[in-house]
Structure 1
Amino acid sequence: MHALTLYYDGHCSICSGQMARLRRLDVRGRLAFVDIAAPDFSPQSLGVSMEALNLEIHAATADGLLLTGIDSVIAAYRAVGLGWSVAALRVPLLRPVYAALYRGLARNRYRLSSWLSGRPACANGTCRR
């Protein structure tokens, strides 16, 4: 069993790139990855809506705790042994700032992906939200 399952948007190139990075770093196999954009994905077992999943990354711990946003990021990097690299996300005074920045990035991820790559965000139009 995996220590953490990450639920990410596979239509987002930034998101997919970060998941690919975490896969490479996960030498102990502690992470599982679920693409919420996959045609056969259903959020029912998580007890959250697709709208909520699309607002920010979610992660489920092995004992069933559901994490969102920067808490998911912190847990993922801790699971691969790089918790120190996201230590600033846990600083109480900075945490609200990082959480707001993350939510802004998540909300604009397709636009940012397109801008960074120089390509349309989604060729098939499925992620024009």
Structure 2
Amino acid sequence: MTPPAALTVYYDGACPLCSAEIRTYRRSRGAERLAFVDVSGDDAPATLGPDLSREAARARFHVRDDQGRLASGASGFIRLWRELPGWGWLATLASLPGMPILAEAAYRGFLPLRPHLARLFSRFSGTSCDTACRPPKA
């Protein structure tokens, strides 16, 4: 029997920027203990638990730990970095007093830019840009 993943990482595989970042994490030491779930495909479930819809998972980064606790945005990244040995230094830095608040503010500032950056990234990387490259609904 396979032990449960230490962390489940939900990501928008239709976003070339997001996919590139996830590929980096997947190549990291310790990534074999994590489950990576692409929520962009038509075959992705509409809900990813009682507290996470597919739409919410595409709009914002989320992770779920092996206890079922959900973290999103900057706190989700901190949880991910904490699980990957080569990224622990970043988790430590982002967890210093006051840093989680600043990291979340930076992440929220990035979200409206994501469609534009994804489009730009797709042009230079030669990847396609699906719905992730459209501006968010107001």
TM-score, structure 2 normalization = 0.79
Q: Cα distance 1:111–1:44, how it changes in 2: closer, same or farther (>3 A)?
A: same
The answer for unaligned runs of 5 or more in structure 2 is: none
Matched, 1:56 2:60: yes
1:66 to 58, 64, 70: 70
Counterpart CA distance in 2 for 1:26 and 1:79 is 10
Counterpart CA distance in 1 for 2:22 and 2:128 is 21
- 1:1-129 to structure 2, matched below 5 A, reads 1-27=4-30, 29-47=32-50, 48-81=52-85, 82-118=87-123, 123=128, 125-127=130-132, 128-129=134-135
Deviation at 1:94, TM superposition (A): 2.6
More divergent stretch after superposition (107-116 vs 52-61)? 107-116
Counterpart CA distance in 2 for 1:10 and 1:113 is 12
Deviation string, structure 1 residues 51-92 (Cα, Å, up to 9, x no partner): 422331011111111111111111111111121123232123
Deviation at 1:125, TM superposition (A): 4.8
Q: Cα distance 1:65–1:43, how it changes in 2: closer, same or farther (>3 A)?
A: farther
Q: How many positions carry a matched residue from both structures?
A: 129
Q: Cα distance 1:43–1:70, how it changes in 2: closer, same or farther (>3 A)?
A: farther
Contact 2:62 2:72 in 1 (8 A): yes
Counterpart CA distance in 1 for 2:38 and 2:117 is 19
Q: SS in structure 2 opposite 1:76? A: helix
Q: CA RMSD in A?
A: 2.5
Contact 1:56 1:103 in 2 (8 A): no
The answer for unaligned runs of 5 or more in structure 1 is: none
TM-score, structure 1 normalization = 0.83
Deviation at 1:28, TM superposition (A): 5.7
